[in-house]
Amino acid sequence: MTPLPLGFYQGDVEDVARALIGVTLTVEGIGGVIVETEAYDAADPASHSFAGRTARNAAMFGPVGHAYVYRIYGLHHCLNVVCGTSGSAVLIRALEPLHGLDVMQERRGSGLPIRQFCSGPGKLCSALGIDLSLNGASLLESPFALTGTPGAAPVVVGPRIGITRAAERPRRFGWKNSPWLSRPMGD
DNA sequence: GCTTTGATTTGCT
DNA sequence: GCAAATCAAAGCT
């Protein structure tokens, strides 16, 4: 389990998004295998970085390999991985819970099936304890850990979910036939 | 300074 | 399956 090298994040955001499928992400030892991501860059109207750098999305233009955490709809959090091209990032949408299941259960509420722990960006952050205090933190350092073999998992590509602009662009990546996706893929 | 948006979740009909 | 909830921040698109 060696951490992914910094150079991994410097590639094209779409390549990174695809390669992240199958990589293990943990926060303070809690987490699992990434099964769903989305790619965003500054040329994407749906991206926070589209309108240029602002105080809110500064982390998105910050150092490669760092986290961009933001609050969505006032109540939920989303975790992004800042990539090589300035203003580009990969949204982590879902993962397969493997580590710290008991802690996630406690955070998400008892009675929930495991597949409800991380099948969505907001749930994922809740289960992993991610909040704004981690905005701008390096993914190569504690409490984050990204390990595994990039690009090893079978990946399918599909349209993105839950956004209003450029939603048809095939920039959503998911683990083929994984039961942990927030929604099944097109095929 | 105020309006509008926002990549979601949850519950209700 | 559909609509409402809910908060803060960015931008005036």
pLDDT tens digits, one per residue of A113-154: 898 999 999 999 999 999 888 999 999 998 999 999 999 999
- CA dist., res. A133 & res. A121, Å (int): 17
Which helix (H) or strand (E) segment is A19 a member of?
A: helix A13-20
Which residue(s) pair with A69 in the sheet?
A: A79
Tokens of A175: 């683990």
Taking the CA of residue A87 and the C1' sugar atom of nucleotide B9, their distance in angstroms comes to 27
pLDDT of residue A19: 95
CA of A76: nearest nucleotide by C1' is B8
- CA dist., res. A166 & res. A176, Å (int): 23
Q: Which of residues 140-179 of A touch strand B (CB under 7 A)?
A: 160-165
In 3D space, the residue among A172, A142, A139 whose CA is nearest the CA of residue A10 turns out to be A139
Q: Which of residues 49-68 of A touch strand C (CB under 7 A)?
A: 50-52, 54-57
pLDDT digits (tens, 9 = 90+) for A34-51: 999 999 988 888 888 888
* CB-CB contact of A78 with A72 (8 Å): yes
In 3D space, the residue among A109, A95, A97, A63 whose CA is nearest the CA of residue A82 turns out to be A63
pLDDT of residue A187: 47
Interhelix angle A101-108/A121-128, nearest 10 degrees: 120
Assigned fold of A6-175: 3-methyladenine DNA Glycosylase; Chain A (3.10.300)
Confidence of residue A56 (pLDDT cuts 50, 70, 90): confident
CB neighbour class for A11 (10 Å; exposed up to 12, middle 13-18, buried from 19) = middle
CA of A40: nearest nucleotide by C1' is B7
pLDDT digits (tens, 9 = 90+) for A165-181: 787 778 889 999 898 98
Q: Select the more confidently predicted residue: A160 or A98.
A: A98
- Residue A51, Cβ neighbours under 10 Å: how many? 10
